[in-house]
Amino acid sequence: MASLAGKNILVIDDAADMRLLARKILEVDGATVSDVASIDAGIALAREKVPHLIVVDLELPEKTGFDFLEFRRGDALFQAIPSLVLSGRKDRESVQRAISLGADDYVLKPFRATLMLQKVRKALKLTSFYRKSVGPGIDGATVAVAVEVTHLNEVACRIASPVKFAPGESVRLATELTSRLGIDRLPLCVSPVSGVYLNAGQYGAEVDFVGIDRELAARIRASFGGGK
């Protein structure tokens, strides 16, 4: 993963322990961190010393993180600075409102250091990818993504993944569960209702099984106590 060396990050949070925790996590990875306890102080500091990223809490005593995101939409300087929301609010409405107001991502409190760094690098577009050139006449390139199967029935399953799958996209699920049941031999298609943002910082998708036969359907049904 890319280092944060040379990056200036501003943290806005009224909780001193949260500011200290965020500072330690980011500084260990090389960032230079400034922190303040209010939106007004953060705006003033950012105008004086333009940061590469702003991390802002939603619930502040005077102006809130939502107020900051509203302000940011109308200010050319702040529009150019990626903003990461840090909050203990887990409801979908808060997440969707923050993203719709232009937040680059949303991190739930309490947070793991690895998740915080992953979100910061993503907002700063520092995530590194392996690249492979595919020559003429060669197709079938595969990208592997870690997914979790959260629900399963005889015709589809739901998955959680760190990337958003496009509706209609063809995928292959190579998990212990899908391999054991024989689902991985089927053509699989992402349904049109996919791409839901989950609280865990992942996206939910529904994957439809294409061409499932009666024997395989019975095996899947038996796997969760449904009998034959």
Query: Same structural domain for residues 185 and 108?
Result: no
Cβ neighbours of residue 101 closer than 8 Å, sequence gap 6 or more: 66, 69, 70, 72, 73
d(CA 196, CA 67): 25
Q: End of a domain among 81, 106, 123?
A: 123
- Write the CATH number for 38: 3.40.50.2300
The first and second tokens of residue 192, run together, are: 């049109």
pTM score of the predicted model: 0.57
Note the residue count of the chain. Answer: 228
Query: Same structural domain for residues 106 and 14?
Result: yes
DSSP state of 104: S
d(CA 9, CA 175): 38
pLDDT (tens place) for every residue of the chain, 228 residues total: 458 988 999 999 999 999 999 999 999 999 999 999 999 999 999 999 999 999 999 999 889 999 999 999 999 899 989 999 998 888 888 888 999 999 988 988 888 898 889 889 888 887 544 444 444 544 445 667 778 888 888 888 888 888 888 888 888 888 888 888 888 878 888 887 677 777 667 788 888 888 777 888 888 888 876 554
Q: Does residue 201 fall inside a structural domain?
A: yes
When computed from its CA atoms, the radius of gyration of the chain, rounded to whole angstroms, is 22
pLDDT, position 215: 84
- The SS3 assignment for 158 reads strand
Overall number of domains in the chain = 2
d(CA 171, CA 157): 12
pLDDT, position 176: 81
The first and second tokens of residue 217, run together, are: 């359907």
Nearest to 35 by CA among 86, 89, 79: 86
Query: Same structural domain for residues 101 and 208?
Result: no
Q: Does residue 81 fall inside a structural domain?
A: yes
d(CA 199, CA 215): 36
The first and second tokens of residue 208, run together, are: 């439809």
Query: Same structural domain for residues 114 and 152?
Result: no
Query: Same structural domain for residues 87 and 54?
Result: yes
- Domain residues for the domain of 185 are 148-223
pLDDT, position 226: 54
